[in-house]
Amino acid sequence: MLKRRTFLAAGSAGIVAAALAGTLPALGQDADTLTIAFNVNLPSFDPTTGGSAVNPTIQAIYCTVFDQYIGQGPDLAFEPGLLTEWGFNDDKTKVSMTVREGVVWHDGTPLTPEDVVWSLQRAGDPANGNPVSGVWASIGNFTVDGNRIDGDVVAFDPTIFKWMAFLTGYVLPKAYFEKVGAEAFNQAPIGTGPYMVDVFESNAFLRLKANPNYWGAKPNFETVIFKFVTDATSRTAEIESGASDVTLEVSYEDYDRLRETEGLDGVAVPISDIGMIFLNNIGPMLDKNVRLAAHHAINKQAIIDRLLHGYGIPIDTLQTPEYEAYDASIKVGFDEARAIKLLAASGFSTANPVRFPIQTTRGLKPKDYEMIQAIVGMWRKVGIEAEIEVYEIAKHYELRAADQLAPAAFYNWGDAIGDASASTGFAMFGPTPHSVWDTEDLDAMIGPLWTEKDEAARISGWKAVDKYIAEEGYVIPLLQYVQPILFKSTLVVIPNTSGALQPSLISKA
Could you tell me which of 290, 402, 416 has the C-alpha nearest to residue 347? 290
- pLDDT value of residue 363: 87
The verdict on 167 and 249 lying in the same domain is no
Mean pLDDT of the chain: 93
Domain limits at 86?
70-173
Question: What is the Cα–Cα distance from 371 to 389, expressed in whole angstroms?
Answer: 13
Task: Tell how far CA 88 is from the center of its chain.
Answer: 27
The verdict on 200 and 131 lying in the same domain is no
The verdict on 203 and 322 lying in the same domain is no
Task: Name the percent of the chain lying above pLDDT 90.
Answer: 89
The verdict on 263 and 291 lying in the same domain is no
Question: What is the Cα–Cα distance from 297 to 337, expressed in whole angstroms?
Answer: 8
Q: Does the residue 7 lie in any domain?
A: no
Q: Does the residue 496 lie in any domain?
A: yes
Question: What is the Cα–Cα distance from 7 to 363, expressed in whole angstroms?
Answer: 9
Q: Does the residue 444 lie in any domain?
A: yes
- Whether residue 6 is predicted with pLDDT greater than 80 in this model: the reply is no
The average pLDDT across 103-117 equals 98
pLDDT, tens digit, 9 for 90 and up, residues 445-484: 999 999 999 999 999 999 999 999 999 999 999 999 999 9
**Confidence at 379, pLDDT banded by 50, 70, 90:** very high
pTM metric for this prediction:
0.85
Q: Residue 464 is which amino acid? A: A
Q: Which residue has the higher pLDDT, 203 or 443?
A: 443
Q: Does the residue 426 lie in any domain?
A: yes
pLDDT, tens digit, 9 for 90 and up, residues 325-348: 999 999 999 999 999 999 999 999
**Could you give the number of structural domains in the chain?**
3
Mode of pairing for the β-strands spanning 475-488 and 246-248: antiparallel
Q: Does the residue 427 lie in any domain?
A: yes
- Whether residue 193 is predicted with pLDDT greater than 60 in this model: the reply is yes
Question: What is the Cα–Cα distance from 199 to 240, expressed in whole angstroms?
Answer: 25
The verdict on 424 and 296 lying in the same domain is yes
3-state secondary structure of 429: coil
The verdict on 475 and 489 lying in the same domain is no
The verdict on 123 and 24 lying in the same domain is no
- Which parts of 269-324 fold into alpha helices (H)? 288-296, 300-307
The average pLDDT across 427-442 equals 96
The verdict on 466 and 344 lying in the same domain is yes
Q: Residue 499 is which amino acid? A: G
Final residue before a domain boundary, out of 173, 190, 215: 173
- pLDDT value of residue 29: 53
Q: Return the C-alpha torsion angle 336, 342, 348, 354, nearest 10.
A: -80
Q: Does the residue 5 lie in any domain?
A: no
Q: Does the residue 24 lie in any domain?
A: yes
- pLDDT value of residue 313: 96
The verdict on 88 and 140 lying in the same domain is yes
The CATH number of the domain holding residue 263 is 3.40.190.10
Question: What is the Cα–Cα distance from 507 to 490, expressed in whole angstroms?
Answer: 9
- Whether residue 27 is predicted with pLDDT greater than 80 in this model: the reply is no
- Whether residue 257 is predicted with pLDDT greater than 70 in this model: the reply is yes
Q: Can you state the angle between helices 368-382 and 300-307, rounded to 10 degrees?
A: 140
Mode of pairing for the β-strands spanning 205-210 and 223-228: antiparallel
The average pLDDT across 31-60 equals 92
The verdict on 453 and 309 lying in the same domain is yes
The verdict on 333 and 464 lying in the same domain is yes
The verdict on 303 and 293 lying in the same domain is yes
- pLDDT value of residue 122: 98
pLDDT, tens digit, 9 for 90 and up, residues 223-233: 999 999 999 99
The CATH number of the domain holding residue 127 is 3.90.76.10
Final residue before a domain boundary, out of 116, 142, 173: 173
- pLDDT value of residue 28: 44
Taking the alpha carbons of 125, 130, 134, 136 in that order, is the dihedral positive or negative? negative
Task: Name the percent of the chain lying above pLDDT 70.
Answer: 94
Q: Does the residue 2 lie in any domain?
A: no
- pLDDT value of residue 319: 95
